Structure 1
Amino acid sequence: MDGDFSILITTFNRLADLRCTLTSLEKFLKDGVQIIICDDASTDGTSAFVRENYPEIKLLVNPVNKGLIYSRNRLLESTETLYAISLDDDANFLSDEVLQNAASHFANHSKCAVIACKIYWGMQPPPHICTEKETKRVQGFVGCGHIWKMEAWRNIPNYPEWFVFYGEEEFASFQLFKKGWEVNYVPRIVVHHRVEIKDRKNNKDYQQRLRRSIRSGWYLYILFYPWKVIPRRFAYTLWMQFKLKVFVGDLKAATAILQAVLDIVLNFPRLLRNSNRLNMSEFKDFKNLLKSRIYS
């Protein structure tokens, strides 16, 4: 069973985080699980560290920075196992028997394309880990901790690299839905994402992240939503961004929103070419699914 899984990690200039993650994964290496890392042109010695300390890891190196989504595509295209575990470089498992639980779930749910893990956000792990057993079909999954059935990955288009950051999981979820695949939330597989969400607003890349987050949502509307529902949803999300951010004094948000609108205009022909629109019946069925779960 161990040979059925690969663990995929993309990283860029976060060697300290990666060290912690790889330490947590050493037991998987000892059991013969292949780990593949894509170093997206780091300048902090990441590749040298991996080669020196983990020669058994398969290392891919981008000669220039290509972005998260490009790197994830490259990792998945390099995977030869039945299943691929995708982890962020600042994430680790909190639960035991990860492979056993994943293999069992895929064996018993033939339409499951992606296992969405239970993910806890925070610098410190939770005081108690509740690994409930009930699984649920959901709309989508989160990038920092999920498990692909590679047969399903090869059945849909690659992640859209022109999104750059944000939205690729939702893109895949829509494509999977159109093909009859499912995303299942499996809370007995628990991931710790070692990041404090509240601190991101103070980071220097806040405006860039917000711009990409907003535009990815609008990209997905144009790619997948029925035309008749797009104007109302676009207007509502635009209003909410102004109401919750700009009108309370977040001027960076105002700039990010305007940049996102411009991105829509510039990429509109590409969005039309790549659309795979749901009809109204499909749209209602998709919206009736539970929203993507993270930690419950």
Structure 2
Amino acid sequence: MIKFSILITTKNRRDELNITLRSLKQIMGRDDVELIVCDDGSNDGTYNYIKKEYPNIILLNNKKNIGLIASRNRLLSETTAQYAIFLDDDAHFLSSTVLETIETHFAENNNCGVIACRIFWGIQEPHSFRTLEKPLRVKGFVGCGHVWNMKAWRNIANYPEWYIFYGEEEYASYQLFKKGWQVHYLPDILVHHRVAVKDRKKQNDYALRLRRSLRSGWYNYMLFLPLIKIPRKLFYTLFIQLKLKVFRGDLKAAIPILQALWDLLVHLPLLLTESKRLTQMEFKEYQNLADTKIYWQPKETTNA
């Protein structure tokens, strides 16, 4: 019986993916674990390489690129496991006994729909793996390291594929909240996301990432927030983007900000039709939850 499914979507990052798969070799040897990789239209030989070097992996192949979110939906539709573990193709576990920790936490917390892992972002590993943090109920989770209780996943709608990239985790978090499921931050599971965040501004897709990130946040406002709360939240986030980016000389950010606003206007009829708003009381309860834990730094202790 498959209890754990490790799900990875990838596109044109064969070398990074190979690092991640090598880190999972010990876990992959268990009878209750499957690993499913969705190759989203790569043209760097990823599919044939994985098929040859890792024959035990379940390999899905999108002939054409369908996007990260659609690929995640496909992965979740394929597995019959109890728990679905998502890793990015450039992320791996630093903790030991990951599977045992996952199983124990879900067994002891029947209302937990998603485990949000502790995530370190950086090219090199952190100097310490230790933390003084404790498990905590939070608003949401991060895509590069989280675990679904598949009972919860099947209780909500799929990720919104038309978002393309960004915002699906927040979308799911609102839905989970509406259905009575919780998201738990579990610091015992440490994931290394091998990304230099500061370098993203220098990358060619910076503008596209900014556009999609902003608009997905605004889409979620329109779908889930009480109508009376939307104008203030929307204009505040717009002001902050202008203040921290455009007004500080990052002029190339102006165009994707305007494009995100245009995207919001274009999709407004759909957003209003598909809305699943929190009540005022639900919104207040949701706002009182701890914020999503995105970036962890080893500040609590200097002992390795």
For normalisation by structure 2, the TM-score amounts to: 0.95
CA deviations 1:48-94 (Å, max 9, x no partner) are 01100111100011110000000000000101100000000000000
Which residue of 1 is the match for residue 275 of structure 2?
275
Q: Distance in 1 between matches of 2:60 and 2:270?
A: 29
Q: Distance in 2 between matches of 1:70 and 1:88?
A: 15
Tell whether the 8 Å contact from 1:223 to 1:274 is kept in structure 2 after alignment.
Answer: yes
Matched, 1:186 2:161: no
Root mean square deviation, CA, Å: 1.0
Which residue of 2 is the match for residue 290 of structure 1?
290
**5+ residue gaps, structure 1:** none
Matches within 5 A, 1:148-227: 148-227=148-227
Q: Distance in 2 between matches of 1:80 and 1:247?
A: 50
Q: Structure 1: which amino acid aligns with 2:254?
A: A
Tell whether the 8 Å contact from 2:2 to 2:80 is kept in structure 1 after alignment.
Answer: no
**SS in structure 2 at match of 1:223:** helix
Matched, 1:20 2:19: yes
Which residue of 1 is the match for residue 300 of structure 2?
none
Which residue of 2 is the match for residue 233 of structure 1?
233
Which residue of 1 is the match for residue 253 of structure 2?
253
Tell whether the 8 Å contact from 1:95 to 1:131 is kept in structure 2 after alignment.
Answer: no
Q: Structure 2: which amino acid aligns with 1:156?
A: I
Matches within 5 A, 1:96-175: 96-132=96-132, 134-175=134-175
Percent identical = 57
Q: Distance in 1 between matches of 2:285 and 2:38?
A: 36
Q: How many residues align?
A: 295
Instruction: Using the TM superposition, give the Cα deviation of residue 26 of structure 1 relative to its aligned residue in structure 2, in angstroms.
Output: 0.5
**SS in structure 2 at match of 1:35:** strand
**SS in structure 2 at match of 1:192:** strand
Q: Structure 1: which amino acid aligns with 2:11?
A: F
**SS in structure 2 at match of 1:48:** helix
CA deviations 1:248-269 (Å, max 9, x no partner) are 1212210001000100011111
Which residue of 2 is the match for residue 7 of structure 1?
6
Tell whether the 8 Å contact from 1:91 to 1:193 is kept in structure 2 after alignment.
Answer: yes
Instruction: Using the TM superposition, give the Cα deviation of residue 274 of structure 1 relative to its aligned residue in structure 2, in angstroms.
Output: 1.7
Instruction: Using the TM superposition, give the Cα deviation of residue 3 of structure 1 relative to its aligned residue in structure 2, in angstroms.
Output: 3.0
Q: Distance in 1 between matches of 2:153 and 2:132?
A: 27
Report the more deviating stretch, 31-40 or 89-98: 31-40
Q: Distance in 2 between matches of 1:184 and 1:120?
A: 17
Q: Structure 2: which amino acid aligns with 1:12?
A: K
Which residue of 2 is the match for residue 90 of structure 1?
90
Which residue of 2 is the match for residue 242 of structure 1?
242
Which residue of 2 is the match for residue 72 of structure 1?
72
Which residue of 1 is the match for residue 301 of structure 2?
none
Q: Distance in 2 between matches of 1:101 and 1:139?
A: 21
Tell whether the 8 Å contact from 1:214 to 1:260 is kept in structure 2 after alignment.
Answer: yes
**5+ residue gaps, structure 2:** 298-304
Q: Structure 2: which amino acid aligns with 1:3?
A: I
Q: Structure 2: which amino acid aligns with 1:160?
A: P
**SS in structure 1 at match of 2:190:** strand
